[in-house]
Structure 1
Amino acid sequence: MTTWFNNMKLRNKLFLSILLVVLVPVLFVGMFLTAQFRQMALENAVQQTASNVERLKQRTSDIIKIPLIVSERLLFDRRLKTVSNSRYDTVLDVFKAYSGYSDFRDFLKTYAELKNIRLYIDNPTLINNWEFIQPDDSIRHSFWYRAAIADNAVRWYYVEDQAGKNKYLSLVRRIDFPEYGTKGVLVIAVNPVTLHAIMNQEPYETMIIDENNNIVASNNPALSGKLLTDASIGKIIQNYDSGTYEEIVDGKLSKIIIENVHPASSLNGLRIVSVFAVDYIVAEADRIGTMGMIVIFLSCIVAVILISLVSALISKRILKLSKEINKVAAGNLNAYSPIDGNDEIAQLSRQFNSMVRSIRELMDEVYESNRQKSMMELKQKEIKLKMMASQINPHFLFNALESIRMKAHINGQSEIAQTVRLLGKLMRKTWRSAGRTSVSAMKWKLSAATWKFKNSAMPTG
């Protein structure tokens, strides 16, 4: 790994460094922050939706509390018992009785949450005025009527109104009249306008469902009044209890929040269901994440361009320095690196120039030293040669003088022999002191001795 990195060009090293030091961490941090932001957005949406559902539950409870209050009042209303159980002889009597009893109408005026109030009771003398209704066979066989007659518990059903054939969420309960031995079924319908008013404030698809899976109210008008099975999530949540679920709805991953609404003193209750697609929630987070990734990508491109320019400048300066180094390696000590600046490359260039200058000066010194050494050696050789010559000439001269002396001695020329002997003695003394006497001086003495020898030898000749 180290060898591979060392063999890599400087530009590639810079690109690799920006990739490892900048791009990878930035991409990792970007993806991490995007994922965290996405998860945070989803959690906030779930929390917000749960809060909305809880608020919707409270407001729904407040609305359906009104029918409970009204039913409790009517349960002990003596005038209602009298009007509903009296036997009337004429229509006028019924009309007077209805005119004298205005509680139903007063409650409807007082509470906007109420749509209508119906009392179903068996009294053949009463006239159906949509407040007091004589139940027919279809009503007697309806599930809600039979359930109410079975006991006096409060129940909530999605009941069809006899007047307009519209269905409303209604409180259904039995009212007993023990004084008359009769029973009636009180039906108080909730005004759907109030339910839809609070539903329309919800940002996501939300619905209120009764125990028979009727969609009582929804912020999607196409679903109101239909069965849960008609909705896309019908089969998914049909048997789900309160909680938060994650399911595929219409091919999209969705969060489903279910909250039960169980009114006080009621045998059954309602369910509030809110559904939102995860993609819809995280769309903004994904958009911001995508924008962030685009910004990161563009930043990376700009960084690559800048690092290319910087690496080109650095490489150009290093190549220029390398070219001058190669000149020095080829023997050109006049190489000079003109790189300026105060960075490391400029410092290296100045050190290179200083090094070349030092090498050049050192080479000059070595050359001068070698030249002087060569001259000194030459002079030493000359001196040795001269000294050898000076050593050879005296010996030859001594031998010659000795031959002359012996020749003169043999011939009886004692005076000449003595003169030659003295001359040789003189020359030997001179030779011994040759280290302190120059060659020229020695020659001069030799010339003087020769001249003396000639002068001394001339008279006898």
Structure 2
Amino acid sequence: MKNFKILNNYSIRSKLIIIYLFCVLIPMIVTNSIVYITIKSNEVREQRITMEHAIERVKYNLSSVLDDCVLVSNHLHNDITLNDFITRRYDNLLDYYERYNYLLQNNVINYYYNSQHVYQVTIYTDNDTISNSSNFRKLTSETRQSEWYRQFYNNNEDMTISVYYDDNRKNYGINNTARTISITRKLDNFDKTHENILKIDVDYNVILNDILNEKMEDNLYVCNKSYILFSNKKSNVGTEEFDTIDSIEEKDVKLNDFFRFKVANEAWNIIITANEVSPLSKIVERKEILFGLAIFNLLLPTIIIILVSHSIGYRVTLLGIYLGKVENEEFSTIEYNDGQDEIGKLIRSYNLMVLRIKELIEVVFKRDAEKQRLELAKKQAELKALQSQVNPHFMFNTLESIRMRSLIKGESETAEIIENLSALLRKTINWGEDYITIEDEMLFVENYLQIQKYRFGEKLTFSFYVMGDCKGIRIPKLSILSFVENACVHGIEEVSHNASINVSIFKYDSRLFIEISDTGSGMEEDQLNLIRDKLRNAEIDMLNNSKSTGVLNTYMRLQMYCNNNMQFEIDSKPKEGTDVTIQIFLDEPGVSNSFVKENQNNNF
């Protein structure tokens, strides 16, 4: 290999060009020239023939099904017994049912269900003396508003092929399909004075199964002007809405033909889409060509790659070994300096770097480390001095002295408010754990509202309801208090009439509900939508840019606590108040560990 050290003097870019020329470009040109000239034209021709045969089979199957249904409609159109039944006026229901039973006994309708292509035969008539049944319906205004009737009426033809989605058939029926194709015509062969309409529903699944039986890799579609009626892409689509024809990529269409109805002025498109022909799949069948290409594409690139990889691999491995020593704080220089390419320059740069690091460690780093330790000690001393200047116990002792003085003077109301304020401040300053029980949180809320009631007087009333099973559940600290405080500041302060705040907490079906409502000033729709938008797009950066962050902060803490397994709703009406509903899914995966532990302790 020493004779090939000359490669060390070439740049990596030049080596990659060599690899590209001999391992990619030249083999690709030779391979494509052979493969695409000998195979692709045959593949395209075979694909075209297969598609044409598939379309002819689809046309034949469609003709068989629809002609059979049209034949049924012709028989019923010419049936005088049926015409007499639907045009006759009945004096009472008994008279009607006698004629109906006679009709059934003669199999005028049921006889045609022997056709496997007919799903439903329904006759609509404006004769109001008949009674609705499975085959006979009154022609009502509601019927005239239906999709199939409007298509029939607007078409203004003797016979119409109606395509629509029937919601009423979605949840029942033998084949459980709501996609409906109907042949509709007037029963006016004997009587033109009444409006009698025959609607024969084609069995959708019969045509669908014929389409699915076309075993082809390409996509086959049967479409009208607006919708994809049938497709071989998936089965059991009877309950799904029709896909629009826009979902077919025009660039993928390989063949497009038409199926025209014999008795109706309408045509359906039969479309086949497919990917471009890839002749590479046929290479395996040409063993001689494959063997020759394997020698040409593997042997020559292997020789070139071995030579190039040896030029790069040894020195890169050596450089990696010495870099590993640097991780272990062992700084050694590399004595191997052969090569003028990028790796050789990299080795020399590494040696220079090692020498500079040694210098930094011995001089600069030690000096800076000592300086940083002195600065850190100074900052710690300043912080301790600052912390000692404010003693929270002084504040609590002062409030306790004021409370005791108020009690001595008989000012029990003032003493109670000072006691609530002291308790609230103590729990706020001594934060402790971020999660507390709902019972402790509600003590915060009660202390806060007692202070606000001292401020507002009779203007403010409040009430609580906490289900017993909910008291031990842990939630983020001050989460309920934040919403109660927001209700006081933005709801109660801005009204002159008496108002109330109500908090309800309960469990239902493994879900925790927290509801906070007030009867304050409420919000306009624009302001409410702005708040909802902020909550939907809540981010940490918004806390720094917003003046009011209490509700936003609490919302984000609750979402992190629940791992986004929470639903939050806020509703408000001007001059009526605001309602906040928080729903936490207790059994959903991802709820915080603190909640799960408390949940297990309470046997929920």
TM-score, normalization: structure 1?
0.50
**Whose RCO is larger (CA < 8 A, sep 6+)?**
1
TM-score scaled to structure 2, two decimals? 0.39
Structure with higher helix content: 1
Higher-Rg member (1/2): 1
